[in-house]
Amino acid sequence: MGLKRICGWIIRKKAIGRVVIIEVSSDRVKPYVVVLKEEREPELYAVGKELDVGTALCFEGEEAQEQKSVRGIEYVARKIEVYAKPIEPLPVDTMGKVPALLDTRIKYRWLLVRNPVEKAIFRVRSAMLAAAREYLSSNGFTEVQTPKIVAAGAEGGATLFRVQYFENEAYLSQSPQLFKQMLMAGFTRVYEITPYFRAEKYNTTRHLNESWGIDVEQGFINSLEDVLNTLENLVAYIIDYVSRNNAEELEVLGVNLRKPSTPFKRLRFQEAVDILRSEGIEVSDTEDLSDQAEKKLGEIMAEKGHDLYFIVGFPWSSTGFYYMREENGVYTRKFDLDYRGLEIASGGQREHRYERLVEALREKGLNPASFDFYLEAFKYGMPPHGGFGLGVERLLMRMLGLENVREAILFVRDRVRLVP
């Protein structure tokens, strides 16, 4: 196969007699295993004996004819270039033999990605986003970018981070919701892979204050079903893509990723309420489901063979002003997509009629004048439209069976973390 140049970091070193075995973490998940024998390459053997775990180096070599290592691809080195040695012992075990607490993993994630398991998580995350772009672009969606410093929030209230914007007060964007709707005045299908900033004072395993989402909006829809079809096909495509392209990462993580079949189960909100009450879980007819209720519903649906399922028809009292109401005015065309008891996406059909939007803003206690920039887009031929936001970390968390959403993002921003 010829010589190959590979660069990375030493994560494990072992000397056995006159042989030094070095494991090098590079961009692939499993390490490269460099075997240096004193009798075969005495000069490189002498160099290897003095190298420490954490050293950044490059080596040139070829695959060993006989592959004895079960940990990675074994190489015979012909040349080694050392670029940087650690000036003090590493604060974490990049090999993963010594388990680290979650707080430590979060603090040193940038270093721990040398570890095959940590690296595998984020290679799968990268593949998820590549799959999303591939699916959406091939289905006629245009990728857009919307502002992250905004004058008004999509949902208003106390979940906004305030920002001093020159002489004015502004906010970090909770969602591209209002802007992607405005774009329905000129595009028929758009998407954005975007950060969300939410000021909720949560400290749970499923909430972050800065997270990422795949946001989609499509116009000229016939009904909410058009939006549900797009989302379920997108999620199924992502999971199938990862199954096909990330077998090595899934093996390292010990994950057997089940490919979902479509269509996903549709469950009316009131049906979900009735199911939960029959199990002794007290829930409201007019408010969104609690985390505890979502988790219990996930267990019930899993028993029925549904890992992924929609909850549709939420009460108006629990939704944003922009959702279209059903004819009775009590329920809306809002939905959630849950994955084994965790909400991973939310969306619905929007209200595209100007007068109804103004009325909805007032009913929600919001001042229409604060949304003039948004409302203007509805004056000039706004078609029926709908969309959703799909949480990147939450989808990854469920796909890989992670215990905490903080495991699914490289740099965590929550109530107590602003560095690194």
E strand or H helix at 26, and its extent?
A: none
Question: Is there a binding annotation on residue 392?
Answer: yes
First-last CA distance in the chain:
42
Question: Is there a binding annotation on residue 206?
Answer: yes
In angstroms, rounded to a whole number, what is the distance separating the alpha carbons of residues 314 and 325? 9
Question: Is there a binding annotation on residue 155?
Answer: yes
In angstroms, rounded to a whole number, what is the distance separating the alpha carbons of residues 306 and 266? 10
Count CB-CB contacts under 10 A for residue 238: 23
Q: Which two tokens stand for residue 315?
A: 């009460």
Question: Is there a binding annotation on residue 370?
Answer: no
Question: Is there a binding annotation on residue 199?
Answer: yes
In angstroms, rounded to a whole number, what is the distance separating the alpha carbons of residues 260 and 267? 17
Q: Which two tokens stand for residue 90?
A: 């590493």
Positions annotated as catalytic residues are 198, 200, 206-207, 343, 346, 394
Question: Is there a binding annotation on residue 208?
Answer: yes
Question: Is the bond leading into 383 cis (omega within 30 degrees of zero)?
Answer: no
SS3 13: strand
Question: Is there a binding annotation on residue 24?
Answer: no
Question: Is there a binding annotation on residue 394?
Answer: yes
Question: Is there a binding annotation on residue 19?
Answer: no
In angstroms, rounded to a whole number, what is the distance separating the alpha carbons of residues 30 and 250? 11
- Strands 189-197 vs 142-143: parallel, antiparallel or unpaired: parallel
| Residues placed in the known binding site | 155, 198-200, 206-208, 343, 346, 350, 391-394
Known binding residues for Mg(2+): 343, 346
- Which residues contribute to the annotated binding site for L-aspartate? 155, 198, 346, 350
Task: Output the known binding site for ATP.
Answer: 198-200, 206-208, 343, 391-394
